[in-house]
């Protein structure tokens, strides 16, 4: 910013194992969005490395990064980001359209994905005709229709009433229970407390990294330090 350098993330050394359920919390400006953008291959770290499934994705070309996002990563956002003029079915088809999946197969897979989130009766509805909770479930179906290994959810309940939020959280947790790595950015302490691991950021640094009581999926750590051991690391960043 002008002559000043702003370090959105500092001294971060983080490992996330395949199948983890991680919540990222912290005040505004703490680096949550930057971390999520790097994990989602939307931004590149200006220093250090980001290793995803054994690949240093920060060194990939833009086309290769786009392919990683398409094949390995699903995104769920606070404001849904659905295309209003498309039906629920067509919104879920979009990632497969970019991937070159044939039309008939796109429709079948999109319909199955919407059925899996309880919206088989809403295939032809447009987003303005759906409730907030239903729109977020369409977004979850779109995020998972390509079979990603990593799901990133940015304030997934922030635009929903309490009941709809609980439904969406239950859906995300059921996906995690089937092996999907789930990373949630949230300001909601109730949602953060449900995760099996909590990462709290302050001023771009890790202020807290702890497993929930009774969880054995995360090794002991010091804030900002390297894990002693993590099983089958899926995501590793450092620098």
CA angle 4–40–227, rounded 5-degree value: 85
pLDDT of residue 154: 93
Decide if pLDDT at 220 tops 50.
no
Q: What is the fold of 14-238?
A: Rossmann fold (3.40.50)
Q: Which residue has the higher pLDDT, 53 or 6?
A: 53
Average pLDDT value for the chain: 87
B/e letters for 84-117, b = 16+ CB within 10 Å, e = fewer, are eeebbbbbbbbbbeeeebeeeebbebbbebbebb
Decide if pLDDT at 218 tops 90.
no
Q: Give the global pTM.
A: 0.85
Decide if pLDDT at 195 tops 60.
yes
Taking the domains of the chain in order of start, what are their residue ranges?
Answer: 14-238
């Amino acid at each position: 910013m002008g002559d000043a350098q702003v370090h959105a993330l500092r001294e971060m050394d983080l490992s996330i194992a395949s199948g983890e359920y991680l919540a990222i919390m912290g005040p505004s400006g703490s680096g949550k969005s930057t971390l999520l953008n790097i994990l989602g291959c939307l931004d590149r770290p200006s220093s250090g490395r980001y290793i995803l499934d054994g690949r240093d994705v920060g060194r990939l070309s833009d086309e290769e990064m786009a392919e990683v996002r398409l094949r390995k990563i699903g995104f769920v956002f606070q404001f849904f980001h659905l295309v209003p003029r498309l039906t629920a079915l067509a919104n879920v088809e979009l990632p497969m359209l970019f991937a070159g999946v044939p039309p008939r197969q796109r429709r079948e897979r999109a319909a199955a994905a919407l059925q899996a989130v309880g919206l088989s009766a809403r295939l032809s509805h447009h987003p303005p005709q759906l409730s907030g909770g239903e729109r977020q479930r369409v977004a979850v179906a779109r995020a998972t229709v390509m079979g990603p290994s990593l799901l990133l959810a940015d304030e997934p309940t922030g635009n929903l009433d309490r009941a709809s939020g609980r439904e969406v959280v239950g859906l995300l947790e059921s996906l995690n229970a089937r092996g999907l790595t789930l990373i949630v950015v949230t300001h909601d302490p109730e949602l953060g407390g449900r995760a099996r691991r909590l990462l709290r950021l302050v001023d771009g640094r890790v202020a807290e990294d702890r497993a929930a009581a009774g969880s054995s999926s995360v090794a002991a750590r010091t804030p900002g330090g390297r894990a002693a051991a993590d099983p089958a690391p899926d995501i590793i960043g450092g620098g």
